[in-house]
Structure 1
């Protein structure tokens, strides 16, 4: 599904993990002026009413993402997502702004997304809570915005729009999970991608096949059926739909199906590997302090295991790592240098951890309470 051009290579998977993301929260970021934010066309009208707004980064520019594609993301791209809401009984507009990094997004794309997230925060008078999301490891808050999150291979230039049958490139989508947490991911169009535990949709444009593994859950089956009907509607009802069940007495019997004959024997060498899992083994909650009280910046671990909120103080910045989510907590009296370098320290810490892809959320001492942050101290 990737578009290859002579002399260019597909971005390394999670190349950002090994790179320097110090621009986020650095001097360069903080020099973004209110006037500059006001001149960004994409921000005009943003955050003025409750709802979700999504932009994609294209060649250093912020571009609108079509509403009909909300919840659909390409793993070769980076996006900015703004959620504006009003709390029950209140009238003030509140905001959460996320930048989402696809596994194969380029440094230019995710760097611009991080930079522009700060700019959007400036545009909205520093009211938003900022979050970093990575493909496959999205926070519960982020996932709550969409009925389904679908991750597709390639970049948005490949398009979700329907095309002529002779031009259509087949896609194989995997539905995996339970309850509301059904993850939809494009996987290589190969026999080895199928398994007995999940549900798949084989999308050939004019033909749509729901492929049910014998151990698939009813939630996976139902979500796939809903998705199938939407695909059919996108194609104006012209697609033929067929259900395929794995033989309970013959595991892997899909290979006998003529309908799946277009699948390759195996994955190509450049096909994506499975998602990186968060490794929680041997890990425990930890608390770090960023302080320049000594005259220069120091990054120090001050606790692990059981954490107490009394360990935080207004004069410094702290990283709270609960293994599945990292929080940057900024005291109201923290210095400019401490604030500027917080995300760089967070990134470096995660690089050396067993869970580098977990969500990151930036909070201030005066931010509204966040349950997962509060739970880290219980």
Structure 2
């Protein structure tokens, strides 16, 4: 995924936010985020988001929505626009800022290079989300804790990670990423980290220190509600035409068709928990600005939940969710010229006596979107250790790994899990890898895809996900170390101070692999080349002096 461009509204003007400050959003400001994806085939794809802090001024929020629309016009009206509210951001927006977005209290200033304030503010956060991490600050109080969620207590000298007994493995893994992010960005990498398990009291000093911050230990109520529970609101789907005066005129409900949408008008589709504003290709910029204001006024007048997402779509860029509310939305029609050309080619083949059959679209194999997020865990018996980003493309042949790839689907993020089994891994690690993968999948919502792959038998898609993959000899797990010790086999695990030979292979820059091989293979290869060259020289009609010179060179 590409790195987004970010602007902040400061003193009623747009100020570019440096990359070093990406992911840091001040609650007193409004921001514009442009994310551009450059696919291998086809034009660039743009998404525009305007993020509104809880304490942002109304004039700044209005200016942000106007500038987002002007940015869309400057890009040729080919973007999808999203309104993002602090704490209720869409998963697409959060996916740009791994591992998370943590709002900062105060107002952004392009002149300052650090956080203001002399004292370190202790805060308590809770992590939630099926695909991306939703971070929410909660009151620093015992009553905020529950058994279902994962909490982070950030103090000046130590970060505590409290895992509810009912929280999932997936949530705990994501929370660890957030802890590492806070440690690097708020503490400069210099602070202690403590993990607190719900319901486990073993006299650990970290456990005692954690509960002392709350005035001592006390049981957590079993029926403590999660702070992320949402109210259900599912009224009938309604379509409104937005007039030039900003008024909404209802034009249809339930049974909707694409013919109701005219290219020179703007419409509002009320789906309850989400609202779409559809802007025709022939509508003007001023009409679109009026439509945005009308949609926001509509939300306020209806006293709609603050969690209602507002998305702006231009004709021709409708999302799968939007199209699903219309009956028989027409599929994209292939160009007439292409149809005629295909027909002529088929006719020529038929004249030659060949039976021409067209392969159905559903039989064509398509690859998933490989611009997603990759996570890799090394299996060490009953333990899982997540690999740092810089190390997750380096696998050992004697180990097993769990690979999670999250990518954007039609209307939500999708997950693909692999259990990669090294060719020289032990059976105990292989069984553990499959067990860990199944546990991770069971803890997730949706329908993630899982697969088991063995080294040297990987599908092409596996390499496309990694793009660059290095496979080292040996292993790091306890099971592998114990196996070679029992067998009396020398440890051949790769070490950077030792000479190593790699075979590089792949069909394109997007699926290259470097696989460590025995160094003796190089000597055999050289000897083989010399032998073939010697035989070639003998067969060639060369002068004796030339043969002598070439022999000396070899």
- TM-score, normalisation: structure 1: 0.70
Report the counterpart of residue 168 of structure 1 in structure 2: 120
Q: Distance between the aligned counterparts of 1:314 and 1:102, measured in 2? A: 34
* Residue 210 of structure 1 pairs with residue 161 of structure 2: yes
Residue 104 of structure 1: how far off its partner (Å): 2.3
- Residue 126 to residue 264, structure 1, CA distance change in 2 (3 Å): farther
Residue 75 of structure 1: how far off its partner (Å): 3.1
* 1:311-369 deviation per Cα after TM superposition (whole angstroms, max 9, x unaligned): 2222422111222322211223447774442122212222233345422222232x334
Report the counterpart of residue 305 of structure 1 in structure 2: 254
Alignment of 1:164-313 (within 5 A): 167-178=119-130, 180-234=131-185, 235-247=187-199, 257-263=208-214, 279-291=231-243, 299-313=248-262
For the Cα contact (< 8 Å) 2:150–2:171, is it kept in 1?
A: yes
Residue 174 of structure 1: how far off its partner (Å): 1.0
* Residue 358 of structure 1 pairs with residue 308 of structure 2: yes
* 1:194-249 deviation per Cα after TM superposition (whole angstroms, max 9, x unaligned): 22211111111321111112222112211111222233334344211111122169
For the Cα contact (< 8 Å) 1:134–1:358, is it kept in 2?
A: no
For the Cα contact (< 8 Å) 2:239–2:253, is it kept in 1?
A: yes
SS in 1 for 2:4: strand
Residue 156 of structure 1: how far off its partner (Å): 4.7
RMSD, aligned CA: 3.5
Q: Which runs of 5+ in 1 are unaligned?
A: 1-48, 250-255, 266-273
Report the counterpart of residue 12 of structure 1 in structure 2: none
Q: Distance between the aligned counterparts of 2:230 and 2:149, measured in 1? A: 21
* Residue 84 of structure 1 pairs with residue 33 of structure 2: no
Q: Distance between the aligned counterparts of 1:363 and 1:298, measured in 2? A: 19
For the Cα contact (< 8 Å) 2:278–2:314, is it kept in 1?
A: yes
Residue of structure 2 aligned with 1:62, choices 1, 7, 14: 14
* Residue 98 of structure 1 pairs with residue 98 of structure 2: no
Higher RCO structure, 1 or 2 (CA under 8 Å, sep 6+): 1
* 1:133-172 deviation per Cα after TM superposition (whole angstroms, max 9, x unaligned): 21233234323323333233522559995899x7211121
Report the counterpart of residue 252 of structure 1 in structure 2: none
Q: Distance between the aligned counterparts of 2:14 and 2:240, measured in 1? A: 34
Greater share of helix residues, 1 or 2? 2
Report the counterpart of residue 120 of structure 1 in structure 2: 71
Residue 118 of structure 1: how far off its partner (Å): 3.1
For the Cα contact (< 8 Å) 2:8–2:16, is it kept in 1?
A: yes
For the Cα contact (< 8 Å) 1:148–1:183, is it kept in 2?
A: no
Alignment of 1:5-154 (within 5 A): 51-90=3-42, 92-152=43-103, 154=105
Q: Distance between the aligned counterparts of 2:121 and 2:61, measured in 1? A: 27
- Residue 88 to residue 359, structure 1, CA distance change in 2 (3 Å): farther
Residue of structure 2 aligned with 1:368, choices 312, 317, 323: 317
For the Cα contact (< 8 Å) 1:52–1:84, is it kept in 2?
A: yes
- Residue 325 to residue 288, structure 1, CA distance change in 2 (3 Å): same
* Residue 330 of structure 1 pairs with residue 279 of structure 2: yes
Q: Distance between the aligned counterparts of 2:104 and 2:161, measured in 1? A: 19
Residue 85 of structure 1: how far off its partner (Å): 1.8
Report the counterpart of residue 14 of structure 1 in structure 2: none
* Residue 314 of structure 1 pairs with residue 263 of structure 2: yes
* 1:102-155 deviation per Cα after TM superposition (whole angstroms, max 9, x unaligned): 222221331232233234334434443332121233234323323333233522
- Residue 139 to residue 183, structure 1, CA distance change in 2 (3 Å): closer
Residue of structure 1 aligned with 2:296, choices 347, 350, 356: 347
Q: Which runs of 5+ in 2 are unaligned?
A: 202-206, 217-225, 328-554
SS in 2 for 1:150: coil
For the Cα contact (< 8 Å) 2:79–2:313, is it kept in 1?
A: no
For the Cα contact (< 8 Å) 2:87–2:135, is it kept in 1?
A: no
For the Cα contact (< 8 Å) 1:56–1:80, is it kept in 2?
A: yes
Q: Distance between the aligned counterparts of 1:228 and 1:370, measured in 2? A: 34
For the Cα contact (< 8 Å) 2:94–2:101, is it kept in 1?
A: no
- TM-score, normalisation: structure 2: 0.50
SS in 1 for 2:178: helix
- Residue 277 to residue 79, structure 1, CA distance change in 2 (3 Å): farther
